[in-house]
Structure 1
Amino acid sequence: MQESYRHILKYIGVFGGVQGLTLLLGLVRNKVIAVLLGPAGVGLLSLCNSLVRLLSDVGGMGVAVSGTRFVAERQTKREQGEAVAVIRQWALLAALSSLVLTCVLSYPLSLWVFGDGWHVLSVLLLAPAVFMTILAGGELCVLKGLGYLRWLALSSVYSVVGVLLLTVPLYVVFGIEAIEPSIMVASLWNLCAVVFYSHKAAPWGGYGQWRIFRKYTSVLRLGGAFVVAALFGSLTDMLFRSFLNVTDGPGVVGIYNAGYMLCMTLAGAFYSSMETDYYPRLTRVNRVGVEFNGVVNRQITLTLLVVTPVLWAFIVGAPLLIPLLYSGKFVEAISFVRWGMVAMSLRGVTLALEYIALSLGKSKSYLLIEGVSYSVLLLSMIIGYELYGIEGVGMGMLVSGGLELLFVVLYVGKKFQYIPAMDASLIFVFQFIIGLSVACVSLLVGGKGYWLLGGGLCVMSVLVSVVAFATLVSHKKDSA
């Protein structure tokens, strides 16, 4: 049991470190883009990225998600080779189909996303990015499913470094006109970085084995529900950005994107270990019971202990970090970040529980959870923005996160006999109270008092995590 905690902590640290470097370099890139393009340019870039994400999620047919489970379940080298060939075939088919579909639908997509028909060329230029994103997703799931986590981490590092070095000069020279070309260049480089390592893990040669391809059509059936679930997420993001764009223009979209990216990128730096390590590990257990619950609860416990102090520190540091990472034009995002970071702490618990349905192949349950969650999120953010502006968006995320967590705990408890561990529940309560206190200090206190109280609460959060981790490890060691 002690080794289990160390294993989880190791991969949270490894991928947290990798994603931390990714975050740092991404923030440097965002800073340059924010200075060169301003809020309106950042807003337009975020709309283009959201469109690529939406089209790749839908067109990818869920292969990037279901494929990880499909490969991880295989025991022998021969079975793994067949599984990799199937995933690559489906990814290629999905990528080609999405390329054609994006080109055919370029005009209606321009009307829907940008509100006019003048961006048809922009959509057409994004079609190759959709194609390459889907192919990269297929290769990533090969690395995850086969357990090549070190190579996965290295591909992420090389990808973000290359994207920074290749795209920033484009923005410097061409300004806002470089948005679509930079997205294409970034997608190509990312694909190359992933393929370099996935080919080492599993050399190509399976694209022509169509007999195997037909044999495992179940991958597509399982991925169908994931497509719909991904569509919920991408549509929610796309619809809300479009709502802001229509309501108050691309400048507000840029402000929202600054706060959203800071929250999601920071939390994602730590939560990435769930997809790369926790999900395959949970898949290998593959049955509900004491062992299954133990894997889930240990993941929740370690995630809370590691992530929450960092989230609270970013709330306190937001008045310095946002102008530094973007520019003074983005200070309105501070009010969004204070509540959005608290919402991200809830997301860490919810995400671990959502993987229960994924690991067991219960696609309908996963689809139900995602559908309810994103519907509540979209409604909460719109209501929050109408009531309190950009700060209300963060409040809406927090309210939505609380409702989602309650729903997921009740659902997986009834459906999959999940029982929360007492230690995980207590740690969650303590850290969440500290997080709410930090957010209230950020809202109500100014001057030196803000830094003293905020810093003191962050230190308290670190102490809670250190003491709790030491107690857990010592208890498990004594029990053994």
Structure 2
Amino acid sequence: MAFKGQQVSRVPVPERTSTSYSQILKSSSLIGGAQGIGLLLGMVRTKFAAVLIGPLGVGLAGNYLAIQGLVSTVAGLGIQSSAVRDVAEAVGREDREAIGRTILTLRRICWLTGLVGMLAMMALAGLLSRWTFGSDDHALEVAALGVVILLGNISGGQTALIQGMRRIGDLAKLNIVAALASTLITIGCYLWLGLRGIVPAMLLMAVVQLAASWHFARRVPVPAVRMSWWASLGASSGMIRLGLVFMWSALITALVAYLTRALITQQIDLEAVGIFGAAFSLSAMFVGFVLGAMGADYYPRLTAVASDRAAVNRLVNEQTEIGLLLAVPGLLATLSLAPWIIRLFYTDAFLPAAELLQWFVLGCLGRVISWPLGFVMLALGKGRWFFATETTFSLLHLALIALGLFVLGIEGVAVAFFVLYIACTLGVYWVAHRLTD
């Protein structure tokens, strides 16, 4: 896609033909190939983590990731997600000036919010350590994660640019580079430092992710525009308004993840967090592969046809069909072979995770079905509907987790996930049908 001497190609409107399916399959296979490589590397990374740092280390790493994810979500203001929509819209209008202003605004705001997030993490490190672990023992490590937030915010902005421009090939390459670097860094740090290598590994991975995203973002031809910082702040208002909807969705999800791990840590122990994390990570790894393969091109395409309700319905139906075709065989295999899979990716110390994995896999089927439907609200600009559904189901999830943990122990957390996605699938289907009917 070029801007000098060429017009920006218009995003095609999907039709009920083999062309639309082939486009979905083409982008899905491209990103899916990268996700597949990432999945294999993730398996290697997971196995080394299980052997080198055990359930205790996996639980500790999960808690650090939950803290970092929670603060990163607030710091990012959802801009990295809303910017995909803004960039895709500008490209669809063939408006070179709007493209340049949107991208410059995105980059500046990501720097600014990243700095604020880093300082907030450092200031709140002691408090977060006490809330999570019951003491200040991990405050220094939590403070160091502030740097991860800054670097992650900047690289997230670059990735949003690449996705909004629909440079699917570059996005696939970026995913491969990040997965390979993460694997090498994680193994090296765990071999060298053991449990003390968890935070250094997170820092180094953030550096590599930033370098890789910057490299691919620089290859995108962006129209040069003159714009003051004040103008960028003003232009960011619309991006932030939609971003706050994304942020709330991600925030409440991150909050549930954080509170889940904190509850397990305080009511059971860190090893139980490791067991939970092993099962949840395996289920999320597979379904993330499927949704990641579909999602890179789906949201920009859905946004581009948002004014045509019939086209929206066709695209959602096609995406759901493809998702089920990709996901069901793997989900059934995981459901049947859960104990063997736990031994393969972890060690015998993690075998209690097998029962949890089966419940998580059942929930993931509902996640695959509800996922394409959820984007309808965003593509149509129905932020209030999205806010309401995300809030309702996240609060339901948290209540189910607390009840399940009290009644069934650690297995109750997985049962809660399954029950949640039964309700979520039915609820999101009703909302999407109401908005597009």
TM-score calculated relative to the size of structure 1: 0.84
Alpha-carbon offset, residue 199 of structure 1: 1.2
Amino acid at match of 2:297: D
Q: Deviations over 1:70-123 (max 9, x none)?
A: 100002333212111111111111101101111111111111122211221011
Q: Does 1:16 align with 2:14?
A: no
CA distance in 1, matches of 2:225, 2:189: 37
> How big is the shift at 1:274?
4.0
Counterpart secondary structure, 1:217: helix
Q: Say if 2:47 is the partner of 1:36.
A: no
Alignment partner for residue 82 of structure 2, among 53, 66, 84? Answer: 66
Secondary structure at the counterpart of residue 147 of structure 1: coil
State the partner residue of 1:428. none
Which residue does 2:172 correspond to in 1?
153
Q: Deviations over 1:362-405 (max 9, x none)?
A: 22211111111111122223322333333332222111100111
Q: Which residue number corresponds to residue 184 of structure 1?
A: 203
What CA distance in whole angstroms lies between the structure 2 residues aligned with 1:132 and 1:202?
23
Query: What residue is the counterpart of 2:318 in the other structure?
Result: 298
Report how far residue 222 of structure 1 moved: 1.7
- Per-residue deviation at 1:186? 0.8
Do 2:109 and 2:236's aligned partners in 1 also have CA atoms closer than 8 Å? no
- The CA deviation at 1:188 is 0.9
Structure 1 residues 343 and 307: CA distance shift in structure 2, 3 A: same
Give ranges in structure 2 of 5+ residues lacking alignment.
Answer: 1-16
Please say if residues 89 and 207 of structure 1, whose CA atoms lie closer than 8 Å, have aligned partners that are also in contact: no
- 2:92 matches 1:76: no
Paired residue for 1:137?
156
Alignment of 1:214-363 (within 5 A): 214-287=234-307, 289-363=309-383
Residues 324 and 215 from structure 1, CA distance in 2 versus in 1: closer, same or farther, beyond 3 angstroms? closer
Tell me if structure 2 keeps the 8 A contact 1:89–1:206: no
Structure 1 gap segments, 5+ residues each: 419-480
Residue 189 of structure 2 is aligned to residue 170 of structure 1 = yes
Q: Is the 8 A contact 2:303 2:380 kept in 1?
A: yes
CA contact (8 A) 2:31 2:293 kept: yes
Partner Cα separation in structure 2 for residue 35 and residue 296 of structure 1: 42
Identify the residue that residue 122 of structure 1 maps to in structure 2: 141
Residues 198-236 of structure 1 deviation map (CA, whole Å, 9 limit, x = unaligned): 111146977964254123421112212222221100000
C-alpha distance after superposition, 1:295-333 (max 9, x if no partner): 111111111111111111122222212111111111111
Counterpart AA for 1:188: V
Match of 1:194 among 207, 213, 216: 213
Letter in 2 for 1:187: A
- Aligned-pair CA distance for 1:68: 0.4
Q: How many residues align?
A: 417
Aligned twin of 2:7: none
Q: Which structure exhibits the higher relative contact order, with contacts defined as CA atoms closer than 8 Å and separated by 6 or more residues?
A: 2
- Aligned to 1:201, what secondary structure does the other structure show? coil
**Bigger shift: residues 384-393 or 3-12:** 384-393
Structure 1 residue 10: Cα displacement: 2.2
RMSD of the TM alignment (CA)? 1.7
Q: 1:311 to 1:411 in 2, by over 3 A?
A: same
The answer as to whether partners of 2:129 and 2:136 remain within 8 angstroms in 1 is yes
- Write the mapping of 1:352-391 to structure 2, written as runs, cut at 5 A: 352-391=372-411
